[in-house]
Amino acid sequence: MRASWLQGVFILLLSTRHGQAHSWVEQLTVIAPNGTFVGSPGYSRGNVLRSEHGFSDTKMTHLIPPNTRADVNLILPTDRMCMDSQLEQKQTAGSPRLQAKAGDPVALRYQENGHVTLPWNQPGKPPNRGTVYVYGTTQPKRREKFLDVHGAWTADGTGGDKRGVLLSKQNFDDGRCYQINSGNISQIRKEKYVHQANALMGADMWCQQDIQLPSTAPSGKLYTLYWVWDWPTLPGKDPTYPKGKAEIYTTCMDVEVVAHSPHVLASASEGYVANQDLNYAAIPSQFTHLDDVSSSSATTSPLLSASASSIPHQPQPDSLTLSSLTPHESPSPSALNLDTTAVPTESVTSSATALVTSVPQGPQPTSTLYLTSTQVVRILTVTEWLTTEKVIEKTVTVTAGGSAATPVSRHRLARRRWRE
């Protein structure tokens, strides 16, 4: 039943190139120290389950900029982080909040909806299928502004108005997830990541972003998470959007921080158990680097630190800049040809660091701020792999150890996969 319904969704996706089947965080689950999901799942604010009568994707998708805006690259300071149904810290019946301890690892799961397995349906999208960010705060605002958080809050908490932190930054494609369809990526992953179909996912494998709640999150209070999926269309790839297109989706969630775990947990020293049931398992590469977002801080762009330190003398065929004020030349048409062999895999590119170091490009200015008569407006700048919103004017000092964790051989492997 469910499978045929999903096949219907795919037919829809295939026939409408700009189909509206997008992604949001459908479930949050605590991860035990061995990498297994434990306890009862939690849900976003105002969640509408797919099984609910009258469900449609639009009930859960929040698009920034809205598709009514003439300039598809313009994000305004007034744009809100949360959709109307997620402004309040309220749950709907049947979709309770996650309960977790401070410091607990948590999996945020979402469906790929073909964005991973049918990449040719949307020309000009980044090969990692966009970047997902999770921000956390104990002081959310009801009308939280998107630009006050995204690109402002940093892993060390010193960014923007300092009310929150960047907890995680990953590829939308976690290297494992798929929906069942006839595309070759789905076919390959289905064989590689075998699992029992279950009531939640059907035969599909949901994507996930594994984060860790701050150990300082106060018990007995709510801790707010903002999930941001940055999925731009790059310039010069889709004739409809010669200058590219910003496309961002968010989900707003709260976690109830409890003093004592309701779960009986295995010993913390155990570590990720290999070959466990994939229906309940974290992504190993993310799970073992849960606190590794320091390279994403605003003062040292990961793009700069990783590319400058590990691949200083590469040519820069893949770099692109997108600005509605100063459009740059289109890249050479071959520069970004999507090659599905380049779909990130768990072993090679599922961590943001590995991903960045696999891209041959040097430091790029990554954004532009300009003034209109009344407001500051931020223009997104797009590179093949990353979208950031930082103005980089001063020289960034790169510490030599910054990406030492990524061995050169790994980097070469990733690049070879790209060029094949």
Ligand X SMILES: *[C@@H]1O[C@H](CO)[C@@H](O)[C@H](O)[C@H]1NC(C)=O
Which residues of the shown chain bind ligand X in the complex (CB under 6 A)?
A: 32, 34, 36, 38, 184, 264-266, 273, 276, 340-341
Least distance between ligand X and beta carbon 125 (Å) = 15
- Torsion from C-alpha of 372, 376, 380, 381, nearest 10 degrees: 80
Closest CA to 30 of 270, 290, 252, 251: 290
Least distance between ligand X and beta carbon 187 (Å) = 8
Least distance between ligand X and beta carbon 392 (Å) = 35
Q: Which is nearer to ligand X, 291 or 339 (CB)?
A: 339
According to DSSP, residue 366 is labeled -
Q: Which is nearer to ligand X, 9 or 188 (CB)?
A: 188
Rounded to an integer, what distance in angstroms lies between the CA atom of residue 397 and that of residue 304? 9
Sign of CA dihedral 405, 335, 209, 390: positive
Least distance between ligand X and beta carbon 264 (Å) = 6
Q: Which is nearer to ligand X, 34 or 137 (CB)?
A: 34
Q: Which is nearer to ligand X, 54 or 333 (CB)?
A: 333
Q: Beta strand pairing status for 63-64 and 37-42?
A: unpaired
Rounded to an integer, what distance in angstroms lies between the CA atom of residue 189 and that of residue 148? 38
- Write the DSSP string, 277-331: -GGGB--HHHHTTTT--GGG-TTS-HHHHHHHHH-TT---TT-----SSSPPPPP
Q: Which is nearer to ligand X, 316 or 341 (CB)?
A: 341
Q: Which is nearer to ligand X, 119 or 140 (CB)?
A: 119
CA angle 47, 162, 87 (to 5 degrees): 20
E strands, 213-283, are 222-230, 248-258
CA angle 320, 321, 325 (to 5 degrees): 155
Give yes or no for a contact between 24 and 251, defined as CB atoms under 8 angstroms apart. yes
Least distance between ligand X and beta carbon 142 (Å) = 37
Say which residues have a Cβ less than 8 Å from residue 344's Cβ, sequence separation at least 6: 127, 128, 171, 173, 175, 350, 355
Q: Beta strand pairing status for 27-31 and 63-64?
A: unpaired
Least distance between ligand X and beta carbon 37 (Å) = 9
Least distance between ligand X and beta carbon 334 (Å) = 14
Q: Which is nearer to ligand X, 277 or 291 (CB)?
A: 277
Give yes or no for a contact between 415 and 354, defined as CB atoms under 8 angstroms apart. no
Least distance between ligand X and beta carbon 285 (Å) = 17
Q: Which is nearer to ligand X, 34 or 122 (CB)?
A: 34
